Chain A
């Protein structure tokens, strides 16, 4: 399919894929342990939280909005769920329902405020970030929950394969969450009418209203979905960390934003794909993991991440400038 290949290479995703592949090959050759099943499993597990949030945030960015508050929603959701789990005789179904309900509620609050206050989504969600997080810290006095029920800490994982030395390779909840978030988001965005309406809303809000899209209702869904994903992500994060700390997650919202934007989503709305977002998360994951394996002190990894973000957004901007110049020529 030469046509498909050509399109891919011209798209942002194509270029990003090239970068990720090059990085992957380089790290596989330059380090001993990068290209190993165990390292990949570790990467998937440790990036499951930000990866899931990236999938949720992608939907918000496509709709033309932004959400900064999701780390706070996630913190609230996991704290509530684990508190209940510690005090009542509940199981997986109940905690999943709880994190979903809390996450969705936070998201709906955002959507209602954005729809009624006439403030931009970034301002509203910065405010709700502080409200959610502040209330959580106030109520919990910042106390961590160290003791979680056994059925929860044991989690669920399946040994897929055991190598000759007897090392097990496992498939765990974090992977299910990560893959699930990407698959559901991809289906939502490409296979449902709702998804196409979200693209339309982000692409041209006035036109969306004119063709009959109910913007307020769609925003409820978009921010509700973001909250739902945040709730789920918080659960698998708590399972991975084996404890819940109310202030462990807040502060990571901008990293997630960086990954989604690296993946080609535009802050102007209407643009972005799940594939691109996966690549964006992978780029940051490979970079940080690779630097470590290359023996660069972990202190420097943030610096490199920042440089990569800066270079990537500059390249994206230049690309869009060229495209715009091209369109001008077509029109003239």
Chain B
């Protein structure tokens, strides 16, 4: 396979910080390549250098089509045929699919490209990929998976020879991932190279040929994808061996805290029954659209169920708002930490006390600075949050520490049931361990925990019991000691 692009000795420093150190990498024409690494490993810097957004430090070489570049400009990179599909997809929601795909036509000259020419160009691309897209629909009305197709079509319309996709599967259902993999094969068949950038070990590994792993700005190596196991990749990315064992305490005598009977909400989930005992971690696993998050939102009172019964400590409760749920001792850590979990711009301290402001009232109904300080300190200590100044914005914390802030906020409400929705999304592997340790400690102290996830190892090694959800229903219950990763995956995809 001839090389499409070959990078030699690429380094990048920001001030005194090394983002990339002497990285070599080649991508073959028509190759499917995986670029793996934790947050902060240098993946994004490398992509920015390839796409010309940032120049590398002097001394690096980029060879494309036998031509040597010391750095690329965005325009050059586009002309050569390098297209990056960022995680946010960078589409125009208010323009039609056709215009989004062929937008490059709008960049040259003053006079309009003409709707007809634009359309025929978009049509040609869509036909080439063999995907079904309504060219006249507004992109804002499409599902995430369809939007991704539009982004891929746009890359193709720009005569891409290398498509770099940043975390492409993060918000896709399994069927949608399969479509994506099919399209990737089609791109490959046309001689277009694809680079998947990922910090998790996921489905794209199925069709990748080689994997390059970065850690702390250095390249650890490139391997054939067939030789790579998720565990090996994980330890390469983090530099640690992770060896989890399934440990399940006997909880049969513990009292049931939360009990749900035949709970339904039209269009979201049907006939869900479950119990969580004191000290138990109940894993709920399912793909996007399986109803897992919707169930959690109903238990948290934000989208009340239409049918069925919820009991706390045996007494039926009506959860019509999240305030009611909180008052009954239910807390919910959202999967979308950045927009629903935290107020990123505001201080760490203000986030920790946000749900318990009324408890901080002192003289004359005013917030007592002492009580606030005390509550903040308690949260920080209880969860081991690494903070230089609690008045700094939450934004300045790492993903793992941010998640601890969210949990601290909820622990302050003294919940009996803690619902964690994908608690380690966007958290580095090392920091994940810290979160799991917290969850286990809370359970050991008597908290009933519901841990929702779409990552199999997460529930397999950290939950005491696993429910599989699919199409809004509970499809099965498993004991972690009795099931393997493969069997659990089959149960989810079935």
Contacts and interface: CB of A to CB of B under 8 A. Distances in A.
Q: Per the CB under 8 Å rule, do A and B touch in the complex?
A: yes
Interface of A: 190-197, 199-200, 202-204, 206-208, 210-213, 270-271, 323, 327, 329-332
Given A197-B106, A200-B103, A211-B103, A192 B75 contact: no
Interface stretch (B110-118, B177-185, B256-264, B393-401): B110-118
B108 A202 contact: no
A210 B74 CA distance: 9
5 contacts: A191-B112, A194-B110, A208-B92, A327-B140, A332-B268
Contact of A330 (B92, B113, B143): B143
Nearest to B51: A210
Interface stretch (B18-26, B93-101, B190-198, B330-338): B93-101
Given A195-B112, A331-B143, A211 B95 contact: no
Contact of A193 (B74, B92, B111, B289): B111
Nearest to A190: B112
Contacts of A207: 88-92
B144 interface: yes
Contact of A210 (B86, B93, B106, B112): B86
B267 interface: yes
A204 B268 CA distance: 30
Given A193-B107, A270-B92, 11 more contacts: A190-B112, A192-B112, A193-B108, A195-B112, A203-B93, A211-B104, A212-B75, A327-B140, A331-B144, A332-B268, A332-B289
Q: Is the interface of B mostly helix, strand, loop or mixed?
A: loop
B94 A193 contact: no
A196 B103 CA distance: 9
Contacts of A212: 74-75, 78, 104, 107
Sort A-B residue pairs by CB-CB distance and give the 4 closest, nearest first.
A270-B94, A207-B90, A203-B92, A203-B94
Interface string B285-323: 000010000100000000000000000000000000000
Given A191-B111, A212-B75, A329-B267, A200 B95 contact: yes
Contacts, number: 78
Contact of B106 (A196, A203, A331): A196
Contacts of A202: 94
A193 B118 CA distance: 11
A65 to B, nearest CB: 15
B90 A206 contact: yes
B130 interface: no
B15 interface: no
Contact of A271 (B94, B104, B108, B109): B94
A207 B91 CA distance: 6
Contacts of A193: 105-113
A161 to B, nearest CB: 37
A206 B91 CA distance: 9
Nearest to B145: A331
Contact of B94 (A191, A197, A199): A199
Contact of B107 (A204, A213, A323): A213
A274 to B, nearest CB: 15
B141 interface: yes
A192 B111 contact: yes
Among A199, A200, A270, max chain B CB count under 10 A is at A200
Interface in B139-164: 140-144
A270 B89 CA distance: 17
B234 to A, nearest CB: 30
A206 B88 contact: yes
Contacts of A192: 110-112
A327 B103 CA distance: 24
A22 B109 CA distance: 43
A202 B92 CA distance: 9
Nearest to B291: A332
A331 B141 CA distance: 9
A200 B112 contact: no
Contacts of B108: 193
A323 B91 CA distance: 19
Contacts of A195: 112
Nearest to A271: B94
A323 B141 CA distance: 9
B130 to A, nearest CB: 22
A204 B91 CA distance: 7
Interface in B350-381: none
A213 B93 CA distance: 16
Interface in B40-95: 74-75, 78, 86, 88-95
A194 B112 CA distance: 8
B318 to A, nearest CB: 24
A253 B99 CA distance: 33
A299 B356 CA distance: 51
Interface in B267-292: 267-268, 289
Contacts of A271: 94
Nearest to B114: A191
Contacts of B92: 199-200, 203-204, 207-208, 270
A200 B101 CA distance: 12
A327 B110 CA distance: 35
A203 B88 CA distance: 14
A204 B90 contact: yes
Given A197-B107, A200-B106, A211 B113 contact: no
Which of B112, B140, B268 is most buried by chain A, counting CB atoms within 10 A of its CB?
B112
Contacts of A204: 90-93
Contacts of A190: 112
Contacts of B106: 193, 196-197, 200
Contacts of B93: 203-204, 270
Nearest to A332: B289
Nearest to A189: B112
Nearest to B104: A211
Contacts of B141: 323, 327, 330
Contacts of A206: 88, 90
Contacts of B142: 330
Contacts of A208: 92
A58 to B, nearest CB: 14
Contacts of A211: 90, 103-104, 107
A210 B111 CA distance: 22
A329 to B, nearest CB: 7
A326 to B, nearest CB: 8
